[in-house]
Amino acid sequence: MAQSSDFENVFIHESAYVDDPVTIGSGTKIWHFSHILGDVEIGENCSFGQNVVVGPDVKIGSNCKVQNNVSIYKGVEMEDGVFCGPSCVFTNVNNPRAEIERKSEFRKTLLKRGVTIGANATIVCGHTLGEYCFIAAGAVVTGHVEPYALMAGVPAKRIGWMSKQGGRLSDDLVCPIDGTQYRLTETGLEQVTE
C-alpha cells in the first residue's frame, strides 16, 4: 500500500488506501476512506473527497475535483479540470447482470477538459462529454454531450449553454462572468477568438 511519502508533495489521509502501481501528480490530495486501485494515473493538483473509489485502469488529468461518494470505474477517462459533484455515478457496462460476467464489455466514457457533473447525476457508459459541458444535479446522461451544453433532466436534454467560466449563456451568447463571446456553428457552440 502506497503512502504520502511515496510521492512528491501528495497528501494521502491515513484512512485511505492506495494500491501499487499508481502514478499521482504533485499537489494531489486523497481524503478519508478513499481507495485508489492499481494501474491508475492521476495528474497534479487533484482532490478526492471522502469515500471515493478510483480504478483499476483509470486515467485522470490534472486539476480535477472528485467530491464525496464517487466511484470512477475502469473505462472512465477524465481530461484536465473535470469536476465530479457528490455522489455522481458512472457505469461501465450497459446491461449488467450479477450472474453474468461482462468485464469484456466495458464501454469507455470520456470526460473532456472542464466538464462539470452535478451532485447525484448519472453518466451511462459509452459516451463522450464535450469540453466545458455542465451536467445538472440529478440528471441522467444517456448519450454524447456537446461542448458547453447545459444538460438537465431524466433522460438529460440540452436546456442551454454554459461558458468556460461556468456562466449560463443567454441568447446573446456572452459569458455573464467575463464577457467572452461564443457563437453557434454547424458543429455546436464555440468560443470566439480574436
Sign of CA dihedral 69, 73, 75, 79: positive
Domains assigned to the chain: 4-95+105-169 (2.160.10.10)
149-182 residue pLDDT tens: 999 999 999 999 999 999 999 999 999 999 999 9
72-105 residue pLDDT tens: 999 999 999 999 999 999 999 999 999 999 988 8
Q: What pTM was computed for the model? A: 0.95
From the number of C-beta atoms within 10 Å of its C-beta (0-12, 13-18, 19+), residue 95 rates as exposed
What band does 37 get if pLDDT is binned at 50, 70 and 90?
very high
Judge whether residue 194 has pLDDT over 70: no
59-72 residue pLDDT tens: 999 999 999 999 99
State the chain's mean pLDDT as an integer.
96
φ and ψ of 105, to 5 deg: -110, 10
Pairing of strands 40-42, 157-161: unpaired
Q: Mean pLDDT over residues 23-28, rounded?
A: 97
